[in-house]
Amino acid sequence: MPSGTQTLHRGLQVVAAVATGATDLAAITERTGVSRSTTHRLLQLLTAEGYLRRSATNTYTLGPTFIEYGFLALQQNPLPLVARPVLERLSETYKDTVHLAIRDGDEVLYIDKLTSLRGPETRSRIGYRMPLTRTGIGKALLLGDGAEMWRRLYDADHTGPQDSQEAATQFVAAMHAGVKSGSTTDMEENEPGVRCVAAPIRDGSAAVVAAVSITATRPYMPVARMRALAPVVREAAAEISSRLGYSTGRPATS
């Protein structure tokens, strides 16, 4: 770690702990491994600067500064702004949950969500993260990669005794099919009873930079409807891609 950054690193650890559910001094100290006295001083500073909010019962949540910076971050990224009209059209037409997501390391990061106009709501939310290989939208984000990456991520995400070599081989085969079709699916791998159809979004360099999906519970998403929605989602992704400067005649890259 570079000299002089230890305090910053500890402060970021405290923020991350609060963001992931540690809400009091004891829990934050345990989560971060930082001493109680140092954690207390950092909490005071972060609260004074608006990064955290302290309740009357001495519990902590993320503060208004993060809300302000979150909106600024979205404004500085053209993707949500460019995609929003397309997402709204999908939501109004098909009445299902519509997601926009990007890849952050080896995870899906949801950056926009329009909730379903019918049926139960999914557990996803803006800022939510999931493993790439367990979600339809995550698989779409991986379509610019190759079999070696697919297998590495699959093996990392599937470590239970029920996860077989045959299942990994089937996953890689399904990803090859997704490259050919330009879309991917989630057949309840992520959330029981929830299915989705997704497609990748590319920028002017032809790299996959995001993905869009339509998600619904099983009664609203039979296999036949998933097949019918695949070209719809691909068209939506293509429209967003073109707004980001992608030309269909340009060779795709990772």
Domain boundaries, the chain: 6-68, 77-243
21 sits in the region (left: phi over 0; alpha: psi -120 to 50; else beta) called: left
Residue 137 has pLDDT above 90, yes or no: yes
Q: Is residue 74 within 8 Å of residue 111, measured between CB atoms?
A: yes
Residue 181 has pLDDT above 70, yes or no: yes
Q: Is residue 182 within 8 Å of residue 199, measured between CB atoms?
A: yes
Looking at domain 77-243, its CATH architecture is: 2-Layer Sandwich (3.30)
Predicted pLDDT of residue 254:
47
The helix/strand count (H/E) of the chain reads as 9, 8
For residue 54, count CB atoms less than 10 angstroms from its CB and return exposed for 0-12, middle for 13-18, buried for 19 or more: middle
Predicted pLDDT of residue 16:
93
Helix (H, G, I), strand (E, B) or coil at 115: coil
Q: Is residue 65 within 8 Å of residue 46, measured between CB atoms?
A: no
Residue 230 has pLDDT above 90, yes or no: yes
Of all residues in the chain, the percent with pLDDT exceeding 90 is 71
Segment 7-33, tens digit of pLDDT = 899 999 999 999 989 999 999 999 999
Structure tokens at 90: 């999908």
Distance separating alpha carbons of residues 17 and 142, to the nearest angstrom: 29
Fold of 6-68: Arc Repressor Mutant, subunit A (1.10.10)
Residue 63 has pLDDT above 60, yes or no: yes
